[in-house]
């Protein structure tokens, strides 16, 4: 199945998971799993959240950000992949000038 993000409506979420600013995304959701294209502009973030029944794989397309997984801080940049397993938590911040664009897959592991 082809997912055409150009045909998916962009969503803007303010203070997503108590983060700062806006999280801009185009999401495909089949009622169980999410596949998304996301963007964080300078000084915006996705707040700390736990993946209780899901995991998340984030592939950075462009820009760079600060990913904190279970308290471990890492700089991620274009070409990097970050993985947050089920039962763990993470946050993503963009303190840099360039927009952070990424692709994420969030599979649900429990029904």
CATH number at residue 31: 2.60.120.10
Please give the mean pLDDT across all residues of the chain. Answer: 97
Q: What is the pLDDT of residues 61-93, one digit of tens each?
A: 999 999 999 999 999 999 999 999 999 999 999
DSSP letter string, 10-50: PEEEETGGG-SSEEEEEEEE-SS-EEEEEEE-TTEEEEEEE
Buried b (16+ CB within 10 A) or exposed e, 67-105: bebeeeeeebeeeeebebeeeeebbbbbebeebbbbebe
93 found inside a domain: yes
Please state the domain count of the chain. 1
48 found inside a domain: yes
6 found inside a domain: no
Full residue range of the structural domain in which residue 57 is found: 21-106
pLDDT-derived band of residue 6, with 50, 70 and 90 as boundaries? very high
* Residue 3 confidence (pLDDT) above 90: yes
Alpha-carbon distance 89 to 104, whole Å? 15
* Neighbouring-strand partners of residue 67: 74, 92
Residue 110, pLDDT score: 82
Residue 111, pLDDT score: 64
27 found inside a domain: yes
5 found inside a domain: no
Residue 105, pLDDT score: 98
């Amino acid at each position: 199945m082809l997912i055409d993000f150009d045909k998916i409506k962009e969503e803007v979420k303010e203070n997503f998971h108590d983060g700062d600013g806006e999280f801009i995304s185009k999401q495909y959701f089949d009622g169980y799993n999410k596949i998304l294209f996301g963007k964080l502009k300078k000084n915006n973030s996705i707040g700390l959240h736990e993946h209780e029944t899901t995991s998340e794989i984030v592939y950075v397309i462009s820009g760079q950000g600060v990913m904190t997984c279970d308290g471990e801080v890492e700089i991620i940049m274009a070409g990097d992949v970050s993985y947050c397993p089920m039962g763990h938590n993470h946050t993503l911040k963009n303190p840099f000038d360039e927009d952070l664009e990424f692709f994420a897959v969030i599979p649900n592991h429990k029904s």
